[in-house]
Structure 1
Amino acid sequence: MVLSQMEAGKALTAAAAKGNTIKVQTILEEGRVHPDTLNEFGRTALQVMMMGNAKIARLLLEKGADPNIQDKHGITPVHDAARTGFLDTLEVLVEHGASVNIPDQNGALPIHFAIREGHRDVVQFLAPRSDLKHANVSGQTAVDVAKASCVPHMMDSLFAHIHS
Structure 2
Amino acid sequence: MVLSENDAGKRLTSAAAKGDVAEVRRMLEECRVHPDTVNEFGKTAIQVMMMGNTSMASVLLENGADPNIQDHFGITPAHDAARTGFLDTLRVLVDYGASLNVPDQSGALPIHIAIREGHRDVVEYLAPRSNLGHQDTRGDTALDVAMATCTPDMVELLKRQLDSTLALQS
Which residue is 1:3 aligned to?
A: 3
Aligned twin of 1:155? 155
Query: Which residue pairs with 2:45 in the alignment?
Result: 45
Counterparts of 1:12-27 in structure 2 under 5 Å?
12-27=12-27
Tell me which amino acid in the other structure corresponds to 1:83.
Answer: R
Corresponding residue for residue 93 of structure 1: 93
Partner of 2:141: 141
Distance 1:147 1:40 in 2: 40
5+ residue gaps, structure 2, are 166-170
The code of the aligned residue for 2:64 comes to G
- Residues 23-34 of structure 1 aligned to structure 2 (within 5 Å): 23-34=23-34
Q: Deviations over 1:11-55 (max 9, x none)?
A: 100111111111111111111100000100001001111100011
SS, match of residue 107 in structure 2: coil
- The structure that has the greater radius of gyration is 2
- The equivalent residue for 2:78 is 78
Structure 2 counterpart of 1:120:
120
When the two chains are superposed, the root-mean-square deviation of aligned CA atoms in Å is 0.9
Contact kept, 8 Å, 1:120 with 1:157, in 2: the verdict is: no
Q: Which residue of 2 aligns with 1:132?
A: 132
Code of the aligned partner of 1:57? A
Give me the TM-score of the superposition, normalised by structure 2: 0.94
Q: Which stretches of structure 1, 4 residues or more, deviate above 6 A after TM superposition?
A: none
One-letter amino acid of the structure 1 residue matched with residue 55 of structure 2: K
Q: Give a deviation string over 1:90-120, Cα, whole Å, max 9, x none.
A: 0000000000000001100000000000000
> What secondary structure does 2:102 align onto?
coil
Give the aligned residue type for 1:44.
T
1:107 equivalent in structure 2: 107
* Structure-2 separation of matches of 1:157 and 1:2: 52
Greater CA drift, 21-30 or 106-115: 21-30
Counterpart in the other structure of 1:68: 68
| Inter-CA distance 152–18: structure 2 relative to 1 (3 Å threshold) | farther
Q: Cα offset for 1:160?
A: 2.2
The alignment partner of 2:10 has SS state of: helix
Q: Structure 1: any 5+ residue segments left out of the alignment?
A: none
User: CA–CA distance in 2 between the matches of 1:8 and 1:70?
Assistant: 20
SS at structure 2 position matched to 1:32: coil
